[in-house]
Structure 1
């Protein structure tokens, strides 16, 4: 830990609120880097050099001050951090008058330095945890040995099974997104401590990625437990925050390299479901949307996508009121069960049969033909 002008200024301002005398702070070279008298800044203080070299209190009277450079009468005390003198704090004035304040000022200075060192360590940990997350989800640049070394320094267990989760912040009341919102969300994800690895991947896209620890058994990872944890997070956000969130959870893949694949499934899930879900839905598991996720990329291959969508486009052109399209949608939602579909639509089964016949005529696809119905279903999912 090194003293700098920012910390020195804090020491001067805080101590001079306690005592009426001018306070100086010198670095390990004896240079004044903080002072109640700005004209003394950057001067070398011989009394501070003596205090550091001898690691003891140096009192200076008028006679001694005349023989030393950059010195006024006062008392100079070494600042100790982790058993080393890293600087000096001085109080200007007659030694007999300022002596009683010496230990108080020294203790205040050392507390400020300890606090600064702690905050610096916290920031270092935070920055490197985010760097670790970014490297883990970017599988192409993964250096496993380096990551394990970094994780050990951060006291993290990378052998713990994890899944990637993407969280997008949705602003309420049309307010603009702020970094404070994302930082608040990160705080909620990290505390109480659950060993989440959290990183803000994109402020502009209001996206946070979390590598969540999971419980893996012979039957696989515990989705129910993650569902419970997600619901707790949603409740905390609803209670504390002025924003809402959408969450996409990827699948579990073993090994560190699997985290990049888990991230891809979470990201693809978020992209795929954003066009097919209601505004009230907030949580999406990859396992629930595998087909839409896998089909989502078809839009990047126009001819394949166009071929797949052709039957639905025909249906939409001949179905101005959208009745047939809605019927088909409910039919798929009810797993092609005629009775349940009729009940959900509040229509007679014969009416449903008539509508399905019309869909067959328009699309030239047979509802009872497995290839045709699958083609129609995939077209519906890939919209």
Structure 2
């Protein structure tokens, strides 16, 4: 259904052109939009007109018109005046409203189609048939962005995203849950992942400044057919989750840059527990004190460079060596040895994943 504000804007614009007062009522006589006061006085006249067989009629100095949507009466239009000019303007307004109904219905149908497409609720034959009916190109490069907002049903953020991309009629903006805004973006033949990263940064910056919203943006891989859009959506959702677990300092995460986090995310929890038990003999990296964890993370950041790590931690080189020796005695892993360092790094990521899953379960 068209919003009352859209109806109001439409008749105000048409009044500005034609200088004829207009009013739109529903089939129960309630005024939805009007350019003149006291329109409520015509409620009974509207109800009587709804019951009459006529499609147009002059009543109390106004031209009354019925506005149909596929043979279903939707609105009653009033145009001030009983002459030919008022009749002609009324017919033009009826035509405009009927076109708006068609456009909004098509937009609603497209939104439903995109939602069902993302959620894999359509058979392959239905995808092609409905896409053709809605004039949606089948063989076009697309990518799905998932924009997660901090607050549920953030209408300001949703409207901001719509204002950024609504002019591009081949892009679709929708929502499938309370916290995520979905952008299905159509790409030009020369656009690639670098361009998608720029789009993600643009979304992030715009929402930070215009909507005052802190968001996370993730996107999937570029697909070539409409039937593959759901895959790009699932990838973007995975990227969002993996980013929360392993790359919490990043606000933009791309599925094709998830690295080892993607592998760990797909491991069963039982296998993760077995791995941690095997490496730490029943203990966990979570049992390590804060000082040791800071030392380990800084050591990894500096590519296992002892001198640079000790300098950044403002400690003597021997102090760092002592801490690494102490860690080796407790875990059996020497972080100065590449293989042990890789094992420990993976273990830290596995523990992060396990903690995230347990948080979801609780």
Preserved contact between residue 78 and residue 88 of structure 1 (Cα < 8 Å):
yes
- Select which of 237, 244, 248 maps to 1:267: 237
SS at match of 2:176: strand
Counterparts of 2:76 and 2:118, CA distance in 1: 46
Q: 1:108 to 1:377 in 2, by over 3 A?
A: same
The match for 1:290 is: 259
The match for 2:117 is: 136
The match for 2:128 is: 148
Counterparts of 1:170 and 1:208, CA distance in 2: 11
The match for 2:162 is: 187
Shift of 1:229: 1.8
Shift of 1:215: 5.3
The match for 1:126 is: 107
Counterparts of 1:170 and 1:239, CA distance in 2: 15
Counterparts of 1:273 and 1:90, CA distance in 2: 56
Preserved contact between residue 147 and residue 218 of structure 2 (Cα < 8 Å):
yes
Q: 1:15 to 1:127 in 2, by over 3 A?
A: closer
Shift of 1:199: 2.0
Preserved contact between residue 307 and residue 317 of structure 2 (Cα < 8 Å):
yes
Counterparts of 2:300 and 2:99, CA distance in 1: 57
Preserved contact between residue 46 and residue 76 of structure 2 (Cα < 8 Å):
no
The match for 2:34 is: 14
Structure whose alpha-carbon radius of gyration is higher: 1
| Residue pairs, 1:152-167, within 5 angstroms | 152-167=132-147
RMSD: 4.2
Shift of 1:251: 2.5
Q: 1:356 to 1:130 in 2, by over 3 A?
A: farther
Confirm or deny that 1:375 pairs with 2:343.
yes
The match for 2:302 is: 334
TM-score using structure 2 length: 0.70
Could you report, residue by residue, the CA deviation over 1:44-81 in whole angstroms, capped at 9, with x for unpaired residues? 36xx37x7xxxxxx88xxxxxxxxxxxx8978677799
Q: 1:13 to 1:303 in 2, by over 3 A?
A: closer
Q: 1:323 to 1:211 in 2, by over 3 A?
A: same
Shift of 1:169: 1.0
Q: 1:308 to 1:15 in 2, by over 3 A?
A: same
Preserved contact between residue 239 and residue 258 of structure 2 (Cα < 8 Å):
yes
Confirm or deny that 1:229 pairs with 2:229.
no
- The number of residue pairs the alignment matches comes to 323
Preserved contact between residue 139 and residue 224 of structure 2 (Cα < 8 Å):
no
The match for 2:98 is: 117
SS at match of 1:157: coil
Counterparts of 2:118 and 2:79, CA distance in 1: 53
Q: Which runs of 5+ in 1 are unaligned?
A: 24-33, 52-57, 60-71, 93-97, 172-176
Confirm or deny that 1:107 pairs with 2:89.
yes
The match for 1:208 is: 181
TM-score using structure 1 length: 0.67
The match for 1:66 is: none
Q: Which runs of 5+ in 2 are unaligned?
A: 1-23, 353-362
Preserved contact between residue 315 and residue 362 of structure 1 (Cα < 8 Å):
no
The match for 2:21 is: none
Shift of 1:132: 2.8
Counterparts of 1:91 and 1:169, CA distance in 2: 45
